[in-house]
Structure 1
Amino acid sequence: MTGRRNAWMDLLRVACLVMVVLYHSTFIGPLAYPQFVARQFVFGHQIGASLLLVLSAHLAASSLADPARATVRWWFSRIARLLPGFVVGTLAATLALDWLAPPGMYRASVGDLVANLAMLWNWNGYHHWDYVDGSYWTLPLQLAAFTLAPWLRRTRLGHGRGLRVLLWSAVLVPLAQWPLAQSAGGVYDSVVDGFGLYRWHLFVAGVAAFMFTIGRLRRGHGLALLASCVAAHVVQNGWWSPTAGLVTDPWSVIGVGLGIAALLLAVRLPELGLEPPRPVAQLARRLAGISFGVYLVHQTLGYVLMLRLQEWFGAGPGTQTMAMLLQAVLLGAAMTRWVERPAHRALMRAFDTHGDRPRPALVADGRPPLPAGPPEGARAELVGARGGH
């Protein structure tokens, strides 16, 4: 395995972030707050956040390729990367809504703030709590995946036939219960949404893509599993209408499918000696390095900024979207530099000083793993990401 940074993966991550900002600034924002002026351009397809989950799973799979890495320290490092920024972002969004937002915007109660900090949006017997920032729906899913991944890697389900059965089950079981989820409601709806069954196929796609590119899934098997993940997105991205049947957004499905293909291509291009121009690669690397910070601060703070620009200066929709993108980059860089990275360093120092010392993982039969790397001809890359997006 090589530690060389893959510029194509950085570009893919940046493209996903741009789609997230466009989706929220042109579609979700005006949907949530009708006081926004009408948009001439609307990007109404949830592609970016879905692909960020795929990339997150791909990164986790690549870093756990060696089972010796499946330690408590690996898990704690991911938690230490995600949670401090999330807490600060939640508090910042709450303060912005209370102190800076124009009339008509949502104000979070103390109960909403507590529920948001505890990530209890989908665990109250209904579909959602009120989100202080709607983008945060991905975080409990990533935390759950990062918690399960190292444990599974050290069991029989973490390799070989057990892993293949697990991946297929993670796609097919949520599909099997989908009809019930459309009508049950209440507590059942909370369990389905709380465990994120509607997005498990995206994590499977990331893991399957990694296994496919390093030769641990045969071509036919790998392509069939990835195709099943895209097919699952057709269903899980939609809902059932008594009159129209399955209603889904085909462009979101196409976008996710093309994104998975782009991921496979991004892994392959450096091996062919193809690299983006150096200035493009450097810019993509910097933006990818602050991607988690950008994700945390772009939506709610961006809505406040856009509405104030509209109210005070008569800014049009194009100017509002550019302002939202610019503030996301600036505040995301600040979040990364002054919250995410120093908090991660401090927490890891505390863990290494006071926590359990990492011990070598054991494979399923109790023997320590061999020191050898991936099999002959294997390919892997380290995705340049902060956090899990």
Structure 2
Amino acid sequence: MSWDVIRVVAITFVVAGHVTGGAALIPDIEAYPVSLRLPFGTFTLLVLSGYFMGPTLRKLSAGRWLHSRLARILPAYVVALLVTFLVLRIVAPIFNGEEDGPWYLPGAGDLVRNLLLVQEWTGNMHRRIDASYWTLPVQVAAFATAALLCWYWRRHWAHRFRPAVAVWGVVAVSAVSPVLSGIARVVPTATGLYFAHLFAAGAAIWLWSQRRLAGPNLAAVLSAVLGLQLFRSSEPQWLIVTCLGVMLGLMCLAARGPDWDRMLGLLRRPISWLAGISFGIYLVHQKLGYVVARVLTGMEIEPWWLRMGLVVTAIVLAAWALTVLVERPLYRLLGPSRRRQTGRRQDGDIGGRTGGGVSTTAEAGAGSGEPGGAGDTVAVTRT
């Protein structure tokens, strides 16, 4: 339950940022009187992904682990992408009217780029099927890199390097990645190197929980990560980084402390349920949520809290359907055979479930969701 709470808090801020803040940027959606745009939710989801790489990689071969990760996130992503694409093809011309409007009408090229996970290389966050999907290429790149490093480590480096060296190496690579913008401005973000320090933070917390990383070393890693994030966040920078720091602290408590289930009482079941569909929420909440908000605005639904409630309800129901009808059955069909997996299963992507009932992702993000959508420059924070 500890991890469920962290995941639900993170995805809540991701959704709140887009429902209350992001939608207000679209002229034909009526704005709400409240706005909560603190884009630390997807960053938190990426840290969670880094944390759960440790316990899952140690139980499977690198190849089978990568297979499991991709089978968990890609089928649901592809279905959500296709649904979002078709919906936009239908509603964008209606919403825009006879003139060019704020609703981007995606074409076949956009669909192909998203299917190939290369959409961030265009460098234009405003021409996206869904800006939140920037985290999927980052996730896949992180998983592939982790699998490759794990495979090589087990054969060549296991007795030569301490895990802390690898963690600091990833932080260093992320810190210097902006120099790659000299090749092309989108290279650091499109390759995921710009966000590698977030995965390193999660890995460091897991190593610390296993007594393989000393407390002072963990504090130094997390301080470095927060320092990088301070320079890479939009306003309000200090508040965003402070919130991320609180989430990192909660992760440390969850990693070594007792489970929080006894403190949650009646909230335990709904939190666990929301955590279980969190990846689905991440996939459907932004652009499809904007479509619902636009329809309700056109219907002149009042008061504002009713419109917001209807948007959130639609998001949750769509996420539940995506999880139950697509993510879980396709993972059972396409994922590694359970008979050959040992130990208790724990999944560590932005979506899916982890040991102890935690749903792991897309996270994140977020991306967009949090970090959402690649910007025109390297030093842009995704929101």
User: TM bucket by the smaller chain?
Assistant: 0.7 to 0.9
When the two chains are superposed, the root-mean-square deviation of aligned CA atoms in Å is: 2.8
Alignment TM-score, normalising by the size of structure 1: 0.80
Match of 2:172 in 1: 172
Classify the secondary structure of the residue corresponding to 1:306.
helix
Indicate the SS of the match to 1:161.
Answer: coil
Give the CA deviation at 1:70. Answer: 2.9
Structure 2 spans left out of the alignment, 5+ residues: 344-353, 364-383
Q: Deviations over 1:298-347 (max 9, x none)?
A: 11111000111011133454333322221121111100111111111111
What is the correspondence of 1:1-389 to structure 2 with a 5 Å cutoff? 7-31=1-25, 33-64=26-57, 66=58, 69-101=60-92, 102-103=95-96, 104=101, 105-124=103-122, 126-128=123-125, 130-156=127-153, 161-178=161-178, 181=181, 184=182, 187-238=183-234, 249-270=237-258, 275-348=262-335, 352=337, 382=356, 384-385=358-359, 389=363
Residues 303, 359 of structure 1: CA spacing in aligned structure 2 closer, same or farther, 3 A cutoff?
A: closer
SS in 2 for 1:93: helix
Range 216-225 or range 91-100, more displaced: 91-100
Q: What code does the residue aligned with 2:71 have?
A: A
Gaps of 5+ in 1: 1-6, 239-246, 361-370, 372-379
Q: Count residues with an aligned counterpart.
A: 343
Partners of 1:194 and 1:180 in 2: how far apart?
A: 11
State TM-score, norm by structure 2: 0.81
Q: Deviations over 1:95-120 (max 9, x none)?
A: 11122453332211111121122222
For 2:198 and 2:212, the matched residues in 1 are separated by: 19
Secondary structure of 1:36's counterpart equals coil
Partner residue, 2:346: none
- Determine if contact 2:177/2:194 at 8 Å carries over to the other structure: no
Which letter does structure 1 place at the counterpart of 2:175? L
Letter matched to residue 280 of structure 1 = L
Name whichever of 18-27 and 113-122 sits farther off.
113-122
Partners of 1:89 and 1:47 lie apart in 2 by 23
Shift of 1:54: 0.8
Deviation readout 1:231-263 (Å, 9 max, x if unpaired): 11112325xxxxxxxx77222111111111111
Distance 2:24 2:225 in 1: 31
Q: Which residue of 2 aligns with 1:367?
A: none
Does structure 1 conserve the Cα–Cα contact (< 8 Å) formed by 2:292 and 2:311? yes
